[in-house]
Amino acid sequence: MIKRAATPSAPASLLASAVTRSFTSGSITTRVLGGVDLAVQPGEMTLIVGPSGSGKSTLLAVMSGLLRPDGGTVHALGCDLWNQPLEAIDRFRLEHCGFVFQGFNLFPALTAAEQVVLPLQYTGLSIGAARTRAEEALAAVGLRDKAALYPLALSGGEKQRVAVARAIAKNPQLLFADEPTSALDKENGANVARLLHAIAHAQGATVLCVSHDPRLIAHADRVVRIEDGVLTSDERNAAVTNPDPLVVPELT
Ligand SMILES: Nc1ncnc2c1ncn2[C@@H]1O[C@H](COP(=O)(O)OP(=O)(O)OP(=O)(O)O)[C@@H](O)[C@H]1O
Ligand SMILES: [Mg+2]
């Protein structure tokens, strides 16, 4: 029996209904998502936890337009995500979604500022506007003074904050994070977790994070547990420990 979270006040910005997904390897087909129903609200950080192989990354990929489900639907910002041509899904991700992954995914030959500017230019912003946005985003994650540094000169925690700056610079309504803290030590992990929480609360963004790192639980507004591709609990976290968020992001 799934423990249900208290009824939220805001309508869902992300809604998975009866989502299924299997992978086939040779003659063996494994069902990884067994009919997932999940409504995610804006303005809060929702964390999906569960053991390795339970389907967390697969669920995040299906809900963010990266991986097509076999069955069920995903509504994102009111649009039936998978019931559209691929180009429209790509455009939806570009316009509305930010992503943060475990491995930072920074380009070695670009400075922190350039890492943030580059994807902004794909959204059609002029170089001047993109630079201003990048400065704001780096300041929001506390890296104003490191904008000119290359990844080699940044610590793991700083690299992940650059990745967060890159994800939030376009002010996305949906922010997806897959294991954002697992390459970080305790303190940097907590900083990034606080930052994700602050982004949800300060910008009203929908932050959906998946992780097997239990340290993230204290920073999430809501914790959903998945086991063997099935949601097994769903609880609100009344006392989020979020003292002293790094910087409250103020992006225009
Ligand atoms: N592209 C793929 N091809 C085949 N099997 C896959 C593929 N992607 C995931 N799987 C399988 O689906 C299952 C769930 O994988 P998933 O990555 O969603 O788990 P996870 O909960 O994110 O695990 P972890 O905590 O280790 O990241 C695993 O058994 C995995 O091997
Ligand atoms: Mg995973």
Taking only the tens place, the pLDDT of each residue in 20-29 is: 999 999 999 9
**What was the pLDDT predicted at 227?**
97
The alpha carbon of 22 and the centre of ligand 1 are apart by a number of angstroms equal to 10
Q: What is the mean pLDDT of residues 139-155?
A: 94
Terminal Cα-to-Cα distance of the chain (whole angstroms) = 43
Q: What is the mean pLDDT of residues 115-127?
A: 92
Partnered with residue 101 across adjacent β-strands are 178
pLDDT tens column, 165-218: 999 998 999 999 999 988 888 888 888 899 899 999 998 999 999 998 888 999
Is the predicted pLDDT of residue 115 greater than 70, yes or no?
yes
The alpha carbon of 53 and the centre of ligand 2 are apart by a number of angstroms equal to 7
Q: Which ligand is the nearest neighbour of the Cα of 56?
A: 1
Q: Which ligand is the nearest neighbour of the Cα of 66?
A: 1
The alpha carbon of 244 and the centre of ligand 1 are apart by a number of angstroms equal to 35
The alpha carbon of 206 and the centre of ligand 2 are apart by a number of angstroms equal to 19
Is ligand 1 within 6 A of the CB of residue 23? Answer: yes
Partnered with residue 28 across adjacent β-strands are 25
**Which residues line ion ligand 2, judged by CB < 5 Å?**
56-57
**What was the pLDDT predicted at 3?**
52
Q: What percent of the chain has pLDDT over 70?
A: 91
Is ligand 1 within 6 A of the CB of residue 56? Answer: yes
Count Cβ neighbours within 10 Å for each residue of 42-78 and write b for 16 or more, e otherwise.
bbbbbbbbbeeebbbbbbbbbbbbbeebeebebbbbe
Taking the C-alpha atoms of residue 141 and residue 164, their distance in angstroms, rounded to an integer, is: 8
Which of 32, 101, 224, 227 is the pocket-test mutation for ligand 1 (most atoms within 8 Å of CB)? 32
Q: Output the residue whose Cα is nearest ligand 1's atom 30.
A: 53
Is ligand 1 within 6 A of the CB of residue 54? Answer: yes
Q: What is the CATH code for 14-236?
A: 3.40.50.300
**What was the pLDDT predicted at 250?**
43
CB 119 within 8 A of CB 171: no
The alpha carbon of 212 and the centre of ligand 2 are apart by a number of angstroms equal to 8
- For residue 139, give the 3-state DSSP assignment: helix
Q: What is the mean pLDDT of residues 49-62?
A: 96
Q: Output the residue whose Cα is nearest ligand 1's atom 1.
A: 23
